[in-house]
Structure 1
Amino acid sequence: MAAELVGGAFLSASLQVLFDRMASQKVVDFVRGNKLNEGLLKKLKIVLLSANRVLNDAEMKQLTDSDVSNWLEELKDAIYIAEDLVFEINTEALRSEIEDHCAGSSTFVKVRNFFSSRIAVKDVETRMVEIVDTIEDLMEQKKHLGLKEGSVQTRPFTRLSAATLVEESDIYGRDADKEDIIKLLLSESDEASGGSDRISVISIVGMGGIGKTTLAQSVYRTIDDRIMTKPFDIKAWITVSEESDVFTLTKAIYETFTDSQNCTIKETFQLQLELKLFLEGKKFLLVLDDVWNVNYKCWYDLKSSFESAASGSKIIATTRIIDIASMMAGAPNQYQLKEIPNEDCWRLFEKHALGNVQPSVYQKLEKIGRQIVQKCKGLPLAIKSLGGLLRTEQDPKYWENILKNDTWNLGKCDILPAQWLSYSYELEMETLILLWMAQDLLQPQETKTPEEVGEEYFKDLISRSLILTNQYGRFTMHDLVNDLAKFVSGQSCLSLDDNCSSFLVSKTRHFSYKGRKSHNIKKNLDLGKNKVISS
């Protein structure tokens, strides 16, 4: 469900930005100053608000109903056309403002030429009418699609309330990682941050689907068998997810440690005292799985209950967010989990996809399957989920279709949709920030330049493992993250390389080319036929 949730947030956010721009003084002054019909601007906002009210329902149905998916694409295109018009009005207003300011000066001609007018004032009303008519037609169609209006809200990603049990036989390529974590757990060193001298915190950090929870679960289940005597008196596993309330987390930890589900204590302070009293002199292992929103104050307050525990107590925290890993654990105890090796990827895929395959087709499927596995780029969750999808299919043509297809059937598969590409995506921070600035995507801050704001955005993406840093210090994006972004953006974004063919579509608004044969662009793509490309 990741794609529809991200796609929904993307379209809703576009509408909110559009509403803000339509209400700006520049747009209002332009409409009044040129004696345009203000009622049209208000009507445009009304029909956009109506469309916004059915987004929740449409976004939930788009992946199981192709008609709804096509309807959303048409709506997205209409919204982009409205954005183009409002952007042009803003630009024209800015041009007029600068010309008025520079009138009579030697720079007037340069400014006028630089900000050449793109908008024909006499056509603005006609364009508004066309946009309103298009959206009204789409809103008529919603009745036949069974779409229902509802309050517009931001839906968070739905996460599992607890980790599911993973069999040891289902874990591949993690032996070395497991040994490293166990060594940290059995170490008597006091060198750690995030806890007192008695308690060490170990953070396992990595992108979604890489196997952080699986590794922690394997360690949790087998640590007692590693030495003659149990290394910990008590153990507890807590799935944190988006929870950041100290009372809720403390209560969950207390009830798990004490094997009690009927804690009646209502005050955080009293509950912390009870937990501290219970842990006194005990050596414990606590796993805080899937940590997302715990800030420093929450962590500082939460760990105060652990200080009465015996020396050598350990906490394992799994998270996608590097800043959280750094806050909870010192540098020596931050464990960056990498992708699993290629051959282990194949073994995992083989178990789930080829377990019941007839010998007569095994060789054909293996050849295709190894190519599919290569595209998963070492993510165990993607490999396992896709293997489960293909397990009941023994037709090589079906496997070929999955290999070459743009998207996976998300109704059957819990992984990101993917347009398979065989390379990683390197990013240049400075170039990306300039593109953000050009698209007006950065929120202004009084004390910071746009470049500084953009750098904060970029660092936040790194912290959340959406952008990675490779061994050479370059910034990259995992294929599956890139694929999700491309799926969500639909036809509005297009990226080609030297192997491109004539593929430009009329709705492409953002186009990039990665290659050296620039003549291919002129030869294969007639850019003049596209009237909406903006970057």
Structure 2
Amino acid sequence: MAEALLSGFINVVVKRLISPEFINLVVGKKLDRKLVDRLRTAILAAEALVADAEQKQFGNDRVRKWLHSLRDALYTADDLLDRLFIKAAIRNKARIRRPHFLDLSARKMVTKIEDVVERIVDLERCKDTLGLREIPTGSSSWRPPSTSLVKGNVFGRDGDQQALIKMLNDNNDHNLSVISIVGMGGVGKTTLAQCLYNNMDLMDGVDLKAWICVFENFDVVETTKNVIRGISSGVCSLESFDLLQQDLKEKLSEKKFFIVLDDVWSEDADKWNSFIVPFQHGRKGSTILLTSREENVGPTVQNYSTYSLKVLSNDYCWSIFADNASFPESNGSSELEGIGRKIVERCDGLPLAAETLGRLLRSEHRVKEWNNILFSDIWEFPAANCKIVPALLISYYHLPAHLKHCFVYCSLFPKDHKLDKDELILLWMAENLLRPPKKGETLEEVGCECFDHLASRLFFKRVQYGDKYFVMHDLMHDLATFLAGDLYYRFSELGEKEEMSILTHHLSYDHSIPKKTCSSSKIESLRTLLYINHRAGFLKAHTMLPCDMLSKNKYLRVLSFGRLDIFPDPIDKLIQLRYLDLSWSNIEVLPQSLCNLCNLQTLKLEGCSKLTMLPNGMYNLVNLRHLDIRGTRLKEMPKGMGKLKQLHTLSYYIVGKSEDNGMEELGGLLNLHGILGIQKLENVVDGNEARSARIIDKKHIDELLLEWSAGDDMVSDAQNQRDILQNLQPHTDLKVLRIKGYKVKTFPDWIGHSSYNNITSVSLESCKNCCVLPSLGQLPSLKSLSIKRFGELKSIGKEFYKNEGHQHSLPITPFPSLEHLEFRNMPCWEEWHLPESKAFPWFKSLRINGCAMLQGDMVNPVLMRIVFSSSNVSKVRKLEIEDLETSDKEMRLDGEQLFTQIFANA
């Protein structure tokens, strides 16, 4: 059952008040128990009203302000309690014993908490004036039931209808098929289902059909009754579930049926498995058609398919708008059309919004009124509220409370901003918006689950060119902004035209914040000061913050800047800070005081190209989980990095020459995930020291870079360096391996072993003394291989495809998955031999560059063998070869040239 937005936050505060850690460190020492109990009682009394208030805030500004005031009071309480707990923990760790009555700051805190209690009590007393009462959470729905009748004209869905009809016809050989139409609220799922339900040709041969409105509460017994009523002219007198299922089975047996379940929400597999049993006795071609806002709903059956319904184009939305606005029949003019088309753009492809706003303007002929619709918020119009708001609200309303907070938090970003999934999860973590992890679960995994849940419910849509970037639909963004209220403020969009509210706790900005905006005493309770870089791919702009901004806002949890030149001095006082982003700054030195931020989870220093060292006290950041140092110029790691047991992300580790920043420190970091680079491996003494890094025990590393710095080509102790690489062997779940600067003639046997069946990419670079390539041909998943700057390599032979010393249970085709192959800057390479069996069956592209000794006469037959070994010659996309010995000029073959030459020589 869904919780009200504030319920989740109330739970956080109440759990803190009753937690053993808080009681042991704070209650009786910093806070009187009676005050703690008064605060808890006041919060719980107010909580009883929030479900009712959350529903009534739409159209009732006084209730909305009441909710915002209560949220502000809870924020204040949580900030004060968090700060008290952290200070008590710091003093306890330092074994400082100081009587609390002599602690002036603690006495001030007590006074502030007493004020919060009075505020919450006063707010609870307002319930009668505002008409608020205690109601069960999730007890109502904003949406009226749908029917099977098509209302009005349908625009832009012919292609969707044809695609679904094809899916239905393709399933005619199955006794039961389930098709789910998935899309966000207001996109037209029900309308499309109505069109199919009333399609005479499609229904030809159907014996029974029924239209059932399921809504959010999927009750198996009641839904079964409704199906029986639907196929029996409204008659169903049975109550027993067994009798209901027997009756439904009898009615459906040997019949072809078409059942629509509209507006389905439940993901409960047990309920679905129980419900679906009678439907499996129908005749071939029988179908259950679902409409849902969630991608993971419906029964688990063999013939289950999903159809994702996309938003409409602006042209189709204009047709809907014009049809409902009676344009141009009764109110046509070029001026109104121009405004109307801009209104349609605001609908962002949602037909429900276009229909509702068009109908709102149907009898309105004044330009002023059309402009009011264009420039005002959709929440302000009662006629729009009755359809658009509920359509979006239902999705939000049925989220768990912590997901509601995660969704509303996204209002800090401007419209059309590309949300970085990984970045957003780190921010949610810092703001304590996630549910508590279960045993064995990480915060990051919880954050990923939360994001995926919101994406599956279509709050986010994936950007086409990437896996980690998402955007919010404009009207969903409007909803988040409305629900955020005064507690969230986007300076980048609002600028100076609006005053920030005293209730503001989260602020995002772009280039600078004018002193006028932040000079008042209002801005003292910020939790978030988040820099938004609008220009993706460009460097951040310089940040200009009022000089007292940080000193006044001591409760900050998230702080990010644009491009800084000087490190902000008072930052070490921000003991509640969890997230600090200094990326792309010109900072040369980080002060030791940074290491006082004992609660810091994320430190981002990407692109700080002038930064050459980290402070020596980094080991004090015991809660640090993510350290991004890409693009810095660090010379070595600070001492004691192995104490950072929580570290989840470390861009790279630079091996030092002393014991306290050597490989043993890396060995303590067993929670590392994702990408890990290890640089300056020349500082490793021997194989035993390499083994102390425990690379093979780091089960969550996906990508590993092992790098020796450039130096002399000859190695005095080649066996020693080979032993070092041997003892840096990673676990077999690795996906990407890169080795750079290795200076020994041969590689250890683990490189290329078929047990590494998840490796998709290998890069070997600047291995100048190597004369034999490792046996990479038996890596079953390898798709991309790059060999660069091998100065001594003369021949590639059968050892490249298979190591005869490896005991394979079943030999496989060499390079069975390889698509992209690259050789560059190999000045001594003369010969390239292929194995007797076929190789490279999935080959797509080859690049050879800077290999002047390679015989051109040898290359052509090799190319022909590779291309004709491909499972599908048409997949070969690119062949680029240059600087061969027999070529007087660069030779490039691409597209048709490739096929023309190869087939000519065939």
Question: In the alignment, which of 237, 258, 275 is matched to residue 302 of structure 1?
Answer: 275
1:107-142 per-residue CA deviation (whole Å, 9 max, x = no partner) reads: xxxxxxxxxxx9921311111122123334434555
Distance 2:415 2:130 in 1: 41
Larger fraction in helix: 1
Alignment of 1:236-275 (within 5 A): 236-261=210-235, 263-275=236-248
Q: State the Cα distance separating 1:30 from its structure 2 match.
A: 3.7
- Partner SS for 1:324: coil
Question: In the alignment, which of 467, 476, 479 is matched to residue 471 of structure 2?
Answer: 476
Q: State the Cα distance separating 1:328 from its structure 2 match.
A: 5.5
Q: Specify whether residues 266 and 493 from structure 1 end up closer, same or farther in structure 2 by C-alpha distance, changes over 3 A only.
A: same
1:335-354 per-residue CA deviation (whole Å, 9 max, x = no partner) reads: 11001111110011112234
Partner amino acid for 2:215? Answer: S
The range that moved more, 42-51 or 370-379, is 42-51
- Partner SS for 2:40: helix
Q: CA RMSD in A?
A: 3.3
Q: State the Cα distance separating 1:394 from its structure 2 match.
A: 2.8
The residue aligned with 1:439 is 431
1:161–1:239 contact (8 Å) kept in structure 2: no
Distance 2:287 2:125 in 1: 60
The residue aligned with 1:94 is 89
Partner amino acid for 2:421? Answer: M
Distance 1:158 1:508 in 2: 30
Distance 1:465 1:500 in 2: 30
1:283–1:312 contact (8 Å) kept in structure 2: yes
Question: In the alignment, which of 281, 295, 320 is matched to residue 322 of structure 1?
Answer: 295
The residue aligned with 1:510 is 506
Question: In the alignment, which of 463, 488, 494 is matched to residue 493 of structure 1?
Answer: 488
The range that moved more, 449-458 or 422-431, is 422-431
Distance 2:496 2:208 in 1: 62
1:142-181 per-residue CA deviation (whole Å, 9 max, x = no partner) reads: 55x3434x43531255054631465464211101111111
Distance 1:524 1:391 in 2: 50
1:62-85 per-residue CA deviation (whole Å, 9 max, x = no partner) reads: 333333333332222222111211
The residue aligned with 2:416 is 424
Partner amino acid for 2:322? Answer: E
- Partner SS for 1:53: helix
The range that moved more, 62-71 or 440-449, is 62-71
Distance 2:389 2:425 in 1: 26
Q: Specify whether residues 153 and 252 from structure 1 end up closer, same or farther in structure 2 by C-alpha distance, changes over 3 A only.
A: closer
The range that moved more, 443-452 or 210-219, is 443-452
Normalising by structure 2, we get a TM-score of 0.51
Distance 2:143 2:372 in 1: 31
1:280–1:310 contact (8 Å) kept in structure 2: yes
1:284–1:313 contact (8 Å) kept in structure 2: yes
Alignment of 1:409-420 (within 5 A): 409=380, 411-413=382-384, 414-416=387-389
- Partner SS for 1:286: strand
The residue aligned with 1:178 is 161
Q: Specify whether residues 505 and 287 from structure 1 end up closer, same or farther in structure 2 by C-alpha distance, changes over 3 A only.
A: same
Q: Specify whether residues 523 and 22 from structure 1 end up closer, same or farther in structure 2 by C-alpha distance, changes over 3 A only.
A: closer
The residue aligned with 2:713 is none
The residue aligned with 1:522 is 544
Q: State the Cα distance separating 1:95 from its structure 2 match.
A: 2.6
The range that moved more, 204-213 or 435-444, is 435-444
Normalising by structure 1, we get a TM-score of 0.83
Alignment of 1:24-173 (within 5 A): 24-34=19-29, 36-100=31-95, 120-142=105-127, 145-148=129-132, 150-151=133-134, 153-156=136-139, 158=141, 160=143, 162-164=145-147, 167=150, 169-173=152-156
Distance 2:9 2:388 in 1: 25
Extract unaligned runs of 5+ from structure 2: 97-102, 393-410, 509-531, 559-906
Extract unaligned runs of 5+ from structure 1: 104-117, 191-196
The residue aligned with 1:348 is 320
The residue aligned with 1:216 is 193
Q: Specify whether residues 451 and 132 from structure 1 end up closer, same or farther in structure 2 by C-alpha distance, changes over 3 A only.
A: same
1:458-507 per-residue CA deviation (whole Å, 9 max, x = no partner) reads: 11112212222233243222122222122111121223448844754443
Partner amino acid for 1:324? Answer: V
Distance 2:192 2:458 in 1: 18
The residue aligned with 1:107 is none
Distance 2:74 2:162 in 1: 53
2:30–2:84 contact (8 Å) kept in structure 1: no
Distance 1:169 1:480 in 2: 24
Q: State the Cα distance separating 1:431 from its structure 2 match.
A: 1.0
1:232–1:283 contact (8 Å) kept in structure 2: yes
1:279–1:306 contact (8 Å) kept in structure 2: yes
1:411-430 per-residue CA deviation (whole Å, 9 max, x = no partner) reads: 322223999x9942422121
1:271-297 per-residue CA deviation (whole Å, 9 max, x = no partner) reads: 222222222221111111111115323
2:272–2:298 contact (8 Å) kept in structure 1: no
1:157-216 per-residue CA deviation (whole Å, 9 max, x = no partner) reads: 5054631465464211101111111222233554xxxxxx32222211111111111100
Is 1:372 the counterpart of 2:343? The answer is yes
Q: Specify whether residues 440 and 59 from structure 1 end up closer, same or farther in structure 2 by C-alpha distance, changes over 3 A only.
A: closer
1:27–1:89 contact (8 Å) kept in structure 2: no
Q: State the Cα distance separating 1:37 from its structure 2 match.
A: 2.9
Question: In the alignment, which of 451, 455, 474 is matched to residue 448 of structure 2?
Answer: 455
Count of residue pairs brought into register by the alignment = 499
1:204-232 per-residue CA deviation (whole Å, 9 max, x = no partner) reads: 1111111111100011012x2469xx231
Partner amino acid for 1:245? Answer: D
1:159–1:241 contact (8 Å) kept in structure 2: no
- Partner SS for 2:307: strand
Distance 1:136 1:268 in 2: 48
1:376–1:383 contact (8 Å) kept in structure 2: yes
- Partner SS for 1:135: helix
- Partner SS for 2:379: coil
Distance 1:219 1:525 in 2: 63
Q: Specify whether residues 289 and 534 from structure 1 end up closer, same or farther in structure 2 by C-alpha distance, changes over 3 A only.
A: same
2:31–2:110 contact (8 Å) kept in structure 1: yes
